[in-house]
């Protein structure tokens, strides 16, 4: 795998690369402690609708996980997102998703469009698997370390079927999504997930109604699963949930090393 | 206030004392870093049904909060509990509550008995206020520090009306309890609570049905409230929730000091 861009800042190195999956170019990025080598925990982060692989929330946590825990973090652009669409398409998508999050029904979200988005989400699964294969080929990740998944909203819509089909992933953070009546694919995928899950949900979310959120939480087969409910809308997850995700990963991905230790251990 | 018993172990001093409230003797206990003086955060811990002021969960956290954060922790025996009843009565109560937690309807829990327990819970409110007054009179607590409340199950049944009526308390952990239809006193009390709340709930709790738990969470007026739902019964709260309560108190009771610093600052 050839890196198209490598930058180091504040003790963290970010490498960009492009996967080829079923004829599609899939842009990917991985963060790790600067100078790290050898196996380490890996977190896969799936961005939300209209966002992209280096969206601020993902970037900030990837850097912190590398600095504080010595983790590697992998992200890819979902189908129809990020560098896979033009700037103009991205701006239109952002307006449409913004309207949906505010509870407005934007003209763009026709039933046909929603069906297409569902189709596209399915494409993401082999892309995630290819990205994970590639990451495990890097000497600073390896195939021995534990792997977690994080993704809310579209990151859950894609992540639930992906994680259900991916035995390498041993814990997952989902949220901001629900199980609507008749969504049998999603229900079946959730029922296959038995790893520890932390599920974050907003109680006044215009995108995911309460009943649908509780139904998705109930659908996970995991013996260890927690649902965190907070007031407010789709974009209002409190900061302390970010701290909770980090502790969740520390609990399940094994002993953490600091970036300094990761470098010193070379 | 005269202490009836003072013991220090592992850097923590536990002082026992007895309050007199409306003709009742109310046994109380307070933990603080050994040798501490001056104001510090105070946590009030309300025990569950059939438990008592030094029940293992309370004792362990009180010691940790003193050691790690420099906090003081106050607990009292609820009406009809702990040193306020005989050993035989306590054993009977434990059997009855145990049956209730397992989803059995023990003979003891008649409607009249439930009404009496409700009455007794109301007695606890002036007792908690007297205990808090006394604690604020101790030089190692003072009246300047922030105050939190923790109590689940009966600790919530008593804690919600108590916290609703006590402006000195600035954050609270509740849980393992619900709002049943017609419980207007509880609903009114919850609606008066606008401080940050963390609400822990067990999804298969024989004592508090899901709908009642969600209804109580919904009833709090707090802008900042979180509900943590975990699988399992009344006694199955996962250990990581204990760590979450500690972080909740650290977030809301201000800067933490270690016991060592608390002693050094004398």
The interface predicted TM-score (ipTM) is 0.89
Q: What is the pLDDT of residue A244?
A: 97
Q: Extract the runs of DSSP E, i.e. beta strands, from A79-217.
A: 147-151, 169-175, 197-202
All residue ranges of chain B with pLDDT < 70 are 107-109, 255-266
Those residues with Cβ within 8 angstroms of residue B246's Cβ, 6 or more apart along the chain or in another chain: B61, B64, B65, B68, B69
**Residue B228 and residue A226: Cβ atoms within 8 Å?**
yes
CB-neighbour burial class of residue B175 (10 A; exposed 0-12, middle 13-18, buried 19+): buried
CB-neighbour burial class of residue A141 (10 A; exposed 0-12, middle 13-18, buried 19+): buried
Question: What is the token pair recorded at A152?
Answer: 């809310």
**Residue B227 and residue A225: Cβ atoms within 8 Å?**
no
Q: Does A226 touch chain B (CB under 8 A)?
A: yes
**C-beta of residue A32 within 8 angstroms of C-beta of residue A144:** no
Place of tokens 């609703």: B164
**Residue B224 and residue A231: Cβ atoms within 8 Å?**
yes
Question: What digits encode the pLDDT tens for the residues B3-43?
Answer: 999 999 999 999 999 999 999 999 999 999 999 999 999 99
- Residues from chain B that touch A243, judged by Cβ atoms under 8 A, are 247
**Smallest CA–CA separation between B92 and chain A, in Å?**
33
Provide the phi-psi class of B35: left if phi over 0, else alpha when psi is between -120 and 50, else beta.
left
Interior/surface letters B146-166, b for 16+ CB within 10 angstroms, e for the rest: bbbbbbbbbbbbbbbbbbbeb
**C-beta of residue A66 within 8 angstroms of C-beta of residue A246:** no
Among candidates B228, B240, B247 on the partner chain, residue whose Cβ is nearest the Cβ of A251? B240
Q: What is the pLDDT along chain A (266 residues), one digit of tens a residue?
A: 899 999 999 999 999 999 999 999 999 999 999 999 999 999 999 999 999 999 999 999 999 999 999 999 999 999 999 999 999 999 999 998 999 899 887 766 677 777 777 788 889 999 999 999 999 999 999 998 999 999 999 999 999 999 999 999 999 999 999 998 888 999 999 999 999 999 999 999 999 999 999 999 999 999 999 999 999 999 999 999 999 999 999 999 976 565 455 444 43
Q: Does A242 touch chain B (CB under 8 A)?
A: no
Among candidates A224, A229, A244 on the partner chain, residue whose Cβ is nearest the Cβ of B227? A229
Q: Does A55 touch chain B (CB under 8 A)?
A: no
Strand B147-151 and strand A147-151: pairing? Answer: unpaired
**Smallest CA–CA separation between A195 and chain B, in Å?**
14
- Residues from chain B that touch A230, judged by Cβ atoms under 8 A, are 225-226
Q: What is the pLDDT of residue B139?
A: 95
Q: How many CB pairs under 8 A join A and B?
A: 36
Report the chain A residue with the minimal C-alpha distance to residue B219.
A231
Helix pair B239-252, B56-64: axis angle to 10 deg: 50
**Residue A230 and residue B226: Cβ atoms within 8 Å?**
yes
CB-neighbour burial class of residue A20 (10 A; exposed 0-12, middle 13-18, buried 19+): exposed
Q: What is the pLDDT of residue B209?
A: 94
Q: What is the pLDDT of residue A262?
A: 47
Provide the phi-psi class of A210: left if phi over 0, else alpha when psi is between -120 and 50, else beta.
alpha
């Amino acid at each position: 795998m050839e890196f198209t861009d490598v930058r180091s800042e504040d003790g963290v190195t970010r490498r960009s690369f492009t996967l080829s999956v079923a004829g599609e170019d899939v842009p990917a990025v991985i963060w790790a402690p600067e100078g790290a080598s050898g196996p380490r925990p890996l977190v896969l982060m799936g961005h939300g609708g209209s966002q992209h692989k280096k969206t601020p929330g993902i970037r900030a946590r990837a850097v912190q996980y590398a600095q504080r825990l010595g983790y590697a973090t992998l992200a890819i652009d979902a189908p129809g997102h990020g560098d896979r669409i033009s700037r103009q398409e991205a701006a239109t998508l952002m307006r449409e998703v913004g309207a949906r999050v505010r509870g407005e029904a934007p003209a763009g979200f026709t039933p046909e469009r929603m069906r297409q988005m569902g189709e596209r989400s399915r494409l993401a699964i082999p892309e995630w698997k290819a990205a994970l294969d590639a990451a495990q080929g890097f000497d600073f990740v390896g195939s021995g370390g534990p792997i977690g998944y994080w993704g809310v909203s579209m990151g859950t819509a894609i992540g639930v079927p992906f994680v259900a089909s991916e035995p390498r992933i041993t814990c997952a953070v989902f949220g901001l999504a629900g199980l609507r009546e008749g969504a049998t694919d999603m229900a079946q995928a959730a029922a296959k997930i038995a790893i520890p899950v932390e599920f974050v949900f907003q109680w006044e979310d215009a995108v995911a109604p309460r009943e649908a959120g509780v139904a998705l939480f109930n659908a996970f087969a995991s013996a260890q699963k927690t649902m965190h409910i907070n007031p407010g809308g789709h974009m209002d997850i409190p900061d302390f949930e970010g701290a909770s995700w980090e502790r969740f990963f520390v609990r399940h991905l094994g002993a953490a090393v600091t970036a300094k230790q990761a470098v010193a251990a070379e």
